[in-house]
Structure 1
Amino acid sequence: MLRFAKDRWLLAGTLPFAMALASFGEAGAEEVGFEAEEGSEAITVTGVRQAYRGNFTVSEIPQSIAEIDAETLEQNGIQRLTDALDLNASVVRQNTLGGLGDSFAIRGFAGDENMPSGYLVNGFNGGRGFGGQRDAAGIERIEVLKGPAAALIGRGEPGGTVNLVTKQAELGRTFGSASIQYGSWGRVRGEADVNVALTGGLTARLIGYAEDGDTFRDLVHQTRWGFLPSIGLALGPDTRLTYDFEKTRVEVPFDRGIVVLDGNFDTVPRSRFLGEPGDGDTVARAAGHQMRLQHEFSDRWSLLVGGSIRDTLLTGSSSDAETIASRQALYSDGRSLSRQRRSRRYDANHKVIRAELAGELETGALRHRVLIGADHDEFSYMNYFTRYRPPTLASNPTEKQGNVVDIIDPVYGRFPLPTTSVITDRTDRQRATGAYVQDQITITERLQVRIGGRYDRLTLETDNRLSGVSSRRKHSRFSPQAGVVYRPGDPLTVFAAYGQGFRANVGTDVNGVIFDPETSESIEVGLKLSLLGGALNGTLAAFQLTKANVLATDPNSPGYSLAIGKARSRGVEFDLNGRLPGRIDVLVSYAYVDAEARSSMLDPNYSFQISPGDPLINIPKHNLNLQVAKAFAIGGREAQIGAGMQHVGKRSGETGTEFMLPSHTLFRLFGKVEVMEHLELFGSITNLFDEHWYANSYSPLWVQPGTPRTGTAGLRARF
């Protein structure tokens, strides 16, 4: 809740500002004064209020929260959400749908590996669908909300939830920036962000980007652009309306990566493209609208109401390595790769409406901070998938029938592109309605207790146009949560939390059976540390998560999932970030995660065995990210230089087998210097020592190699 003496909505209602205030941490409910430059009027802040967060400082929340701000993204020259999430060790990469989706696991759990990972946008479910990898343009801050928060947010993974806080119109101000940069492989990118005060109560913020260039992968050229405007309108001193629009497009060949034969990661060069250029680009596009109305009833109570609509469409064809050994000639001669050919049309529509009332009251000596909310979520996914598959080797197929490419000396376009047949023509629909309540009670100055819960009702429908069979299932569940925060004294806070979760699984298995919803249970204990007057903050936490009705990718039926029963993840993580004396910024993030299957499963069609103790795919036990940056002046001009390191341990590269991806350690450099007033030169080098590394894997025949040494340089103007 924000209270202003003058120009109340100059900053009020903008989540980036609210989140920045959260870093003051120890202010709690005490008033913190700021001086507004315009008119030199004081702005009095009595707390911070956000979607699903309420009027709490970060230290009061019984949950681990890591934040990656726009400055950090800018420092590292990061343009993709996937790369940004590498900065937090609790988040690791998963199968990215041929480079066309964001997929990640938090604390070892990834959800449905055949779907892009869901995330929140300004507190609204907004990351589902097939719009391509999310660009970092327009992101003000990334929150990694770890731990048992599903009881409040709903329909999320128990390991945590990613919330993207977008750059929104800031009322009453005019400012902007524009940049152009050039990078390795001829990549050119332009980006602009302009905030224009149109009237006293109406402001437009226009954000856009365009990028074009080759990649380190042979024959893989990419084009992407996006337009992300935001409109802010003050409807009086206590009410703000915000509208955000999203229009993006990505064009790039679908790329399953390289093959690894007999554990040899040098089977082919990391640049070798094993698809077919004749398939052309796969196109992913998204169009979205989000509107939020926030009203302050008083200094204690506020209401947030809003909704969003997002349509995504992914279309294209690809030639992918055949994963079934009985159809794969590569295992016979070591160079003839048999390939499927696939065509996809994934059309998804996602609608969300939600309302939340936040406030506080007293009962005797107890202070209550209350959240009461409800939301409704509709997701429709039309899956039209066609495929050509090589015959079995027992039938002695020709190279043309096998759609073969020589991995040692590839000749593309050697055979006509095979004609595909319809494999999937299905629409999945989910409707979910939930309501939640949370009360955090201040017992004493040092002790707070949180209790709450969420009730969800799900309806799952599948319309299979091939079989003519329609299926429908309904589920409902109450998910409780509880937490405690104890502050023994500055600068330490101790917390513990427990929660249950409930999330629908999308789609059916290869036999057309709708999956049961996923259920989870989470427990977390930890401590938070704030030093140097809140300039340096850290969190140490231990956790254990269990899930039932877990899905994994079906290695024998790519594009489908299979239910592996139960899974467990447990571990320890440490996050530290802030500023040291001498204008030195530091970031430390480490996670130890032990994620494994906890039940046996035998695939009846292929005798594919998953046993208790089998590691979950693409989850390293050890993950570490370090970064340090130093700001200084050269000849009266501001400058900064920094370096970072990421270590990712070895991890499973295929569900239920012994195939492992090796560990890797990457180093990066970045810097910037002001060449004249309002103009800066910036640059970065990633993978400084050109290490061969592997981002993720589906099987030994679908391994995504990591990017080699990459350099970028550019100019940025501000006004």
Structure 2
Amino acid sequence: MLRFAKDRRLLAGTLPFAMVMAPFGATAAEEAEAGASADGEERSEAITVTGVRQAYRGNFAVSEIPQSIAEIDAKTLEQNGIQRLTDALDLNASVVRQNTLGGLWDSFAIRGFAGDENMPSGYLVNGFNGGRGFGGQRDAAGIERVEVLKGPAAALVGRGEPGGTINLVTRQAELGRTFGTAAIQYGSWDRVRGEADVNVALTGGLTVRLIGYAEDGGTFRDHVHQSRWGFLPSVGLAVGPDTRLTYDFEKTRVAVPFDRGIVVLNGDFDTVPRSRFLGEPGDGDTVARAEGHQLRLQHEFGDRWSLLVGGSIRDTLLTGFSSDAETVASRQALYRDGRSLSRQRRSRRYAANHKVIRAELAGEFDTGPLRHRVLIGADHDEFTYDNYFTRYRPPTLASSPTGQQGNVIDILDPVYGRFPLPATSVTTDRTDRQRATGAYVQDQIEITERLQVRIGGRYDRVTLETDNRLPGAAMSHVRRKVDRFSPQAGVVYKLAEPVSLYAAYGRGFRANIGTDVNGVIFDPETSESIEAGVKITLLGGALNGTLAVFQLNKANVLATDTDNPGYSLAIGKARSRGMEFDLNGRLPGGVDVLVSYAYTDAEARSSMLDPNFSFQISPGDPLINIPKHNLNMQVAKTFAIGERAAQIGAGMQHLGKRSGETGTDFMLPSHTLFRLFGKVDVMKHLELFGSITNLFDEHWYANSYSPLWVQPGAPRTGTVGLRARF
């Protein structure tokens, strides 16, 4: 009750702020409209630099980049009522969900490759590495757009997965303007949410943007109540006509019970209802916190050169207990009687600190008839991860354990709190540090009006350290340095004004965290990527599409050390290849359309044992949670009801069947989900909006780690709300 009251007070404090700002903003908007000409002239004289350039991109139209790029913009996020990054990424078929640590981090695969399944997926925030750490699933509040940068980008971005990179462009202070939105909404399972986004021009060159959200309510899962809040302000300052300084702050908190999902016994996905919680409410919430700072300075040197420098620091902490189904068959009573689920009990304290500094010079020059557009940059990245993990494990069935010793719950008739919560003992007490310094250069040469060639490369020096504080560890402190060069090459040929052909090649790497049985830090994963495609621009730029084919290869994937059970070796190989099609824009008649399809064939390419359960993996075995077919489509139409503007839209996602456990034949079934969304102006500056997801209430499964850890997807879910604009 105390937690509930505290969360309600937080909502009560946020929502009145949002609603009070709405009428104030309407007045401000009317005043600004009345004096737009004069104010606009004054601002244009005082401020020249108003936008914020994105790192790693340079001065290129999308059609000139030898890479497949998809964007999920603010309008699409708002239309669908999206509140989590995970749901936003569902809109692009090249990205699929992976194991989310009981719903407490973001994990996804791009073009079939996911990286380390024991860590959250990395992503960029305004070009800075920002996704690592344990701050909970990223909320969509504060996100202006999501960029899915597919293919071989390691030559610029650096250490990462070969399938691509996610870059989140946040909502940043817009200089010289005052505007905002505020919204309150109510959804299924008594979920209440309020959010506000207010951009205030304090002076001609100083603007503050205040973004906040708070959410509280139940879920379709029994005993799983969640609360979350965040404060994400941005400050923009024009330092002269050609220089802009931007500071972004992040403070978030998520509290939710750790939830491994349901069990699937003998392939029966109806073994238990999708709502059944198989953890222990007495474990309480797992809490994830994040605090981050990001500072960027952008300077324009005339029309052809610009400099972007900045730094970021982010601290995250995840703490809590959970009761998770035991996955080893020799300890699992469920396989004997079909109802007694043996459970481990775990505690986690994952703390991470991530620091990044970087600088990039972008510009262009000519050498005779050739036009060069170059990027020259360097960065330094430090990531420190403290992993303190404790566990209680049920004894083997051969010892005939009691129900209490097995920490058993009856999956058909659960009685929570039946036994005292077992005490745990330390199994991991370790600090991993990664320090990386890199420099890169890229030159895109315009040889003719139709032909452009891109060449580039990046050199990285990475230092890996592990401090193992467990008694009896083979080595308490180990350190290793790795040097890598990641080249890239690409070509773009304009076949006709609306059609461009491209091809690209690149190599990359990603450090493996941890050590082998001898305490030696693993070799890094290495990768090789190739892709080719065609880009089209139709209807005067209103409609854009990309068709691409690709192949990715990885080596040094972690696998079980067969001579030393419980340890791993970097010996595995994997391959992913496929085809993608992305189309978005506006059709004649004002119809917005989005189509995204991916065929992905991702498989193991060597014989090895799975590092988690030691299942045999053979060449050709599919990678976990990767469907061969993924399709997302939606349309939206704006129209008028009398004098009121309105919009209605519909979408569909089809996800094919996919492996639910590495090295076995357990498969998650395919599913097709439909959604509706719409909005209508109820008065000036105030709109009513709503959405329904999983319209036909299909049973579906978001991801899986084993048949005993399957995450069911939400049933039909409705949301309705009011949004004020000014």
Shorter-chain TM-score category?
over 0.9
Deviation at 1:581, TM superposition (A): 1.2
Q: Is residue 89 from structure 1 mapped to residue 102 from structure 2 by the alignment?
A: no
Q: Tell me the residue number matched to 2:196.
A: 192
Equivalent position to 1:317, from 315, 318, 321:
321
Q: Is residue 370 from structure 1 mapped to residue 374 from structure 2 by the alignment?
A: yes
Deviation at 1:508, TM superposition (A): 3.5
Equivalent position to 2:648, from 634, 641, 645:
641
Question: What amino acid is the match of 1:581?
Answer: P
Equivalent position to 1:653, from 646, 660, 667:
660
Q: Is residue 670 from structure 1 mapped to residue 677 from structure 2 by the alignment?
A: yes
Question: What amino acid is the match of 1:135?
Answer: D
- The separation in 2 between residues aligned to 1:37 and 1:464, in whole angstroms, is 61
User: Aligned pair in 2 of structure 1 residues 690, 37: CA closer, same or farther (>3 Å)?
Assistant: farther
Question: What amino acid is the match of 2:632?
Answer: N
- The separation in 2 between residues aligned to 1:229 and 1:595, in whole angstroms, is 40
Show CA shifts across 1:255-298 (max 9, x none). Answer: 00000000000000000000000000000000000000001111
Residue 117 of structure 1 aligns to a residue whose secondary structure is: coil
Q: Tell me the residue number matched to 1:615.
A: 622
- The separation in 2 between residues aligned to 1:96 and 1:239, in whole angstroms, is 41
User: Aligned pair in 2 of structure 1 residues 698, 559: CA closer, same or farther (>3 Å)?
Assistant: farther
Question: What amino acid is the match of 2:626?
Answer: I
Compare the two structures and name the one with the higher helix fraction.
Answer: 2
User: Aligned pair in 2 of structure 1 residues 476, 73: CA closer, same or farther (>3 Å)?
Assistant: same
Q: Is residue 538 from structure 1 mapped to residue 545 from structure 2 by the alignment?
A: yes
- The separation in 2 between residues aligned to 1:157 and 1:65, in whole angstroms, is 16
Q: Indicate conservation of the 8 Å contact 1:112/1:561, yes or no.
A: no
Show CA shifts across 1:566-604 (max 9, x none). Answer: 100000000000001111000000000000011111469
Show CA shifts across 1:339-384 (max 9, x none). Answer: 0000000000000000000000000000000000000000000000
Over the aligned positions, Cα root-mean-square deviation in angstroms equals 2.2
- The separation in 2 between residues aligned to 1:324 and 1:205, in whole angstroms, is 51
User: Aligned pair in 2 of structure 1 residues 36, 668: CA closer, same or farther (>3 Å)?
Assistant: farther
Q: Tell me the residue number matched to 1:710.
A: 717
- The separation in 2 between residues aligned to 1:554 and 1:225, in whole angstroms, is 43
Show CA shifts across 1:426-476 (max 9, x none). Answer: 000000110000000000000000000000111110000002611111110
TM superposition score normalised by structure 1: 0.92
Q: Tell me the residue number matched to 1:410.
A: 414
Q: Tell me the residue number matched to 2:277.
A: 273
Show CA shifts across 1:540-578 (max 9, x none). Answer: 0000000111247999x9999764611000000000000
User: Aligned pair in 2 of structure 1 residues 627, 199: CA closer, same or farther (>3 Å)?
Assistant: same
Show CA shifts across 1:596-639 (max 9, x none). Answer: 01111146997531111111100000000000000001111110
* Structural mapping, 1:150-169, within 5 Å: 150-169=154-173
Deviation at 1:49, TM superposition (A): 4.9
Equivalent position to 1:527, from 490, 512, 534:
534
Residue 59 of structure 1 aligns to a residue whose secondary structure is: helix
Show CA shifts across 1:61-92 (max 9, x none). Answer: 00000000111011001000000000000000
Q: Tell me the residue number matched to 1:22.
A: none
Question: What amino acid is the match of 1:472?
Answer: R
Question: What amino acid is the match of 2:206?
Answer: L
User: Aligned pair in 2 of structure 1 residues 37, 650: CA closer, same or farther (>3 Å)?
Assistant: farther
- The separation in 2 between residues aligned to 1:424 and 1:96, in whole angstroms, is 20
Unaligned runs of 5+ in 2: 1-36
Equivalent position to 1:55, from 59, 63, 77:
59
- The separation in 2 between residues aligned to 1:686 and 1:564, in whole angstroms, is 42
Q: Indicate conservation of the 8 Å contact 2:610/2:663, yes or no.
A: no
Question: Could you tell me the percent identity over the aligned residues?
Answer: 87
Q: Indicate conservation of the 8 Å contact 1:212/1:223, yes or no.
A: yes
Question: What amino acid is the match of 1:224?
Answer: R
Q: Is residue 73 from structure 1 mapped to residue 77 from structure 2 by the alignment?
A: yes
User: Aligned pair in 2 of structure 1 residues 607, 89: CA closer, same or farther (>3 Å)?
Assistant: closer
Question: What amino acid is the match of 1:633?
Answer: A
- The separation in 1 between residues aligned to 2:300 and 2:667, in whole angstroms, is 54
Residue 39 of structure 1 aligns to a residue whose secondary structure is: helix
Residue 146 of structure 2 aligns to a residue whose secondary structure is: strand
User: Aligned pair in 2 of structure 1 residues 609, 325: CA closer, same or farther (>3 Å)?
Assistant: same
Q: Is residue 131 from structure 1 mapped to residue 135 from structure 2 by the alignment?
A: yes
Q: Indicate conservation of the 8 Å contact 2:615/2:664, yes or no.
A: no
Residue 40 of structure 2 aligns to a residue whose secondary structure is: coil
Q: Tell me the residue number matched to 2:245.
A: 241
Residue 480 of structure 2 aligns to a residue whose secondary structure is: strand
Question: What amino acid is the match of 1:64?
Answer: S
Question: What amino acid is the match of 1:220?
Answer: V
Equivalent position to 1:345, from 344, 349, 352:
349
Deviation at 1:516, TM superposition (A): 1.2
- The separation in 1 between residues aligned to 2:464 and 2:309, in whole angstroms, is 26
Q: Is residue 173 from structure 1 mapped to residue 177 from structure 2 by the alignment?
A: yes
Deviation at 1:156, TM superposition (A): 1.5
Residue 63 of structure 2 aligns to a residue whose secondary structure is: helix
Q: Indicate conservation of the 8 Å contact 1:114/1:561, yes or no.
A: no
Residue 497 of structure 1 aligns to a residue whose secondary structure is: strand
Q: Tell me the residue number matched to 2:30.
A: none
Q: Indicate conservation of the 8 Å contact 2:50/2:175, yes or no.
A: no
Q: Indicate conservation of the 8 Å contact 1:48/1:56, yes or no.
A: no
Residue 152 of structure 1 aligns to a residue whose secondary structure is: helix
Q: Tell me the residue number matched to 2:596.
A: 589
Aligned residues: 684
User: Aligned pair in 2 of structure 1 residues 48, 139: CA closer, same or farther (>3 Å)?
Assistant: closer
Q: Indicate conservation of the 8 Å contact 1:116/1:130, yes or no.
A: yes
Residue 189 of structure 2 aligns to a residue whose secondary structure is: helix
* Structural mapping, 1:509-528, within 5 Å: 513-528=520-535
Q: Is residue 454 from structure 1 mapped to residue 458 from structure 2 by the alignment?
A: yes
* Structural mapping, 1:321-470, within 5 Å: 321-466=325-470, 467=473, 469-470=476-477
Residue 38 of structure 1 aligns to a residue whose secondary structure is: helix
546-555 vs 696-705, greater mean Cα deviation: 546-555
- The separation in 2 between residues aligned to 1:578 and 1:253, in whole angstroms, is 40
Q: Is residue 143 from structure 1 mapped to residue 150 from structure 2 by the alignment?
A: no
Q: Indicate conservation of the 8 Å contact 1:111/1:551, yes or no.
A: no
Q: Indicate conservation of the 8 Å contact 1:47/1:55, yes or no.
A: no
Show CA shifts across 1:389-416 (max 9, x none). Answer: 0000000000000000000000000000
Q: Is residue 483 from structure 1 mapped to residue 490 from structure 2 by the alignment?
A: yes
- The separation in 2 between residues aligned to 1:626 and 1:392, in whole angstroms, is 49
Deviation at 1:681, TM superposition (A): 0.1
Q: Tell me the residue number matched to 1:16.
A: none
